Amino acid sequence: MKERFLLPFVAVLFLILGTGLVSAQNTNGQSNGNSAQTSSQVSTNNQGESTQNTTETQNRTQTNNPDIGTMTQEEIQLRTQESIVESEQTYSAKDSESQARSRKVAEAAKNMITLSYQIENQSLGSQIRNIAQQTNTYQDQANQAIDKADERSGFAKFFVGPNYNQLTEVKQAMTQNQLMIRQLNQIRAQITNAGQSTDLENQIQVLENENTALGNKLDQLESGFSLFGWLARWIKGYTN
């Protein structure tokens, strides 16, 4: 009789316990799933941040060193030599003073190109190389104009004065030289390495000296008496 009353009670008890176990298993499953999902998200986020940081670092390196960031020392030396050859003067001056001046300017340009590949910020390095090439170009222009001006005979100079067209070419080259010297000084102010800044300053000084020498040559070409030089000067619009 007692067993009849106990059986329903035991059945209810087992039913309650079974329901609790199922609920606990579901809760644990959800917890494990959430934990795995969270871990996956954290891992993905970390990987994304790591990739982003690596990309940003590479971008900064590429920005500062667009030409030499991944080059070996041998490749840098080869690129330096190629730039020097590409920037060389092409005109052989006849005037001895022009020849001496050209050698000094060419050497300064060569030194600037070599220095440009050593500077960390290759944006500045690229600007230096461009200026070095232009310096040789304007040196050629000035030397060619001087030689043509010297071709005018003494007789012609006596009557109409020097070749003002060619003297204008020399003056334009001097003006461009002065502009490039100012640009180099602005670049030098942005170079953080003291030794490199001093090296560039030395080359700037050479360019300044040789531009002054070019001005002295221009004064020589302008000098001398002529009967109608004043008229030719006025017609050409030439001013000292």
Structure tokens at 63: 């920005």
Spatial contact of 171 and 105, defined as CB atoms under 8 Å apart: no
Radius of gyration (C-alpha) of the chain in whole angstroms: 40
Does pLDDT of 224 surpass 50?
Answer: yes
More reliable by pLDDT, 172 or 232 = 172
Structure tokens at 116: 């440009």
Spatial contact of 105 and 143, defined as CB atoms under 8 Å apart: no
- Model pLDDT, residue 191: 95
The 3-state DSSP class for residue 122 equals helix
> What pTM was computed for the model?
0.70
- 21-80, pLDDT tens digit by residue? 334 344 444 444 444 444 444 444 444 444 444 344 344 334 444 556 677 888 888 989
User: How long, in residues, is the chain?
Assistant: 240
Does pLDDT of 115 surpass 60?
Answer: yes
- 202-215, pLDDT tens digit by residue? 999 999 999 999 99
